[in-house]
Amino acid sequence: MARVVVLGGTGHIGGYLVPRLVEAGHEVVVVTRGQARPYRPHAAWRRVTSVVADREAEDAAGTFAGRVRDLDPDVVVDLICFHPDSARQLVEALRGRVQHLLHCGTIWVHGPSAVVPTTEDAPRRPFGEYGTHKAEIERYLLDQARRHGVPVTVLHPGHISGPGWRPINPAGHLDPAVFATLAAGEPLTLPNLGLETVHHVHADDVAQAFTAAMSHRAVALGESFHVVSPAALTLRGYAEAVAGWYGQEARLEFLPWEQWRETVDERDAELTWDHIAHSPNASIAKATRLLGYRPRYSSLETVREALEWLATQDQVPPLP
């Protein structure tokens, strides 16, 4: 078994990934800022070594990558790399020192969908700081793998969801009032014709993909993989399904984008624009074929589990 260092291991993905690694017999070290308890309670956390480090501050000082190297990992799982320079520092420190470096990317490296479902070899047309930085990181890491043999795998999740936080809703943002509107059978206005797409993935399925890449290292090295549910949802279909859970028929209305954006606050409009401008719809065929990735949750099952948790927090009406 391997000594696995997980960077950012107490968040959404790590909450599922770390217990999976421990139960598989790996020695696990989690590096976090120490500002939050493990995302999900689990007996496995008692067998995990925790290291407190502020990556942003230590990257600026040029010390974080060396700290990770000095933990003597066989495998590094990087869940919190958002800047190209951070990735470069880590690769330089770990070069020739690790068996496998797994990076968490995003399906937003693709930019707007063109041919769907989008495959990993589709041209990159990212926009926005997040997608652009992640695409640059991916390009650098895969170049290092192919030119210099750095043992890298990049996994691109969709909209990570599940119990513990709010999922992207049928209007493309995070306000739980959208779910309450559908539960009450009240009219909900969507942008355009509600045919843009969102592509959720359960955090446990993302965790499954990381362990699958470790198990299938020989075919995973130097490759990137989509990690999403089996199918994306249109906003319209998503709204109709949620209304049905509450015994309602969705009463949907539609407005052109420029008019619709005036009906919500600025932050919700920004989030919705990001989601509908990307309209992700990603293929998992490559991950299924090479890694044996088979998500347990559909997009709707992922959202329903998130809503069941939100109902316990009185943020949405209880599901029947």
Domains of the chain, by residue range, sit at 3-160+200-227, 164-199+231-280+297-312
Q: Model pTM?
A: 0.96
Res. 34: pLDDT tops 80: no
The percentage of residues in the chain with a pLDDT greater than 90, rounded to a whole number, is 94
Residue partners of 198: CB distance under 8 A and separation at least 6? 158, 159, 168, 172, 232, 233, 235, 238, 275, 279, 280, 299
The pLDDT score that the predictor gives to residue 38 is 76
Residue-level pLDDT at 248: 98
Does the pLDDT at position 247 exceed 70?
yes
Structure tokens at 299: 């997009």
Q: Are 107 and 282 in contact (CB under 8 A)?
A: yes
Q: Which residue reads 């800047």 in tokens?
A: 83
Q: What would the mean pLDDT of 228-254 be, rounded to a whole number?
A: 98
As given in the structure block, the two tokens for residue 179 are 């779910």
Which amino acid makes up residue 224? Answer: S
Distance (Å, whole) CA 96 – CA 76 = 13
SS3 319: coil
Mean of pLDDT values over 111-127: 96
HSE-up (13 A, CA, CB side) for residue 242: 37
**Cα–Cα distance measured from residue 109 to residue 107, given in angstroms and rounded to the nearest whole number:** 5
The answer, yes or no, to whether residue 35 has pLDDT greater than 90, is no
Half-sphere exposure of 119 (CA within 13 A, CB side): 5
Domain 3-160+200-227 sits in CATH at 3.40.50.720
- Write the Ramachandran bin of 128: left for phi over 0, alpha for psi from -120 to 50, otherwise beta: left
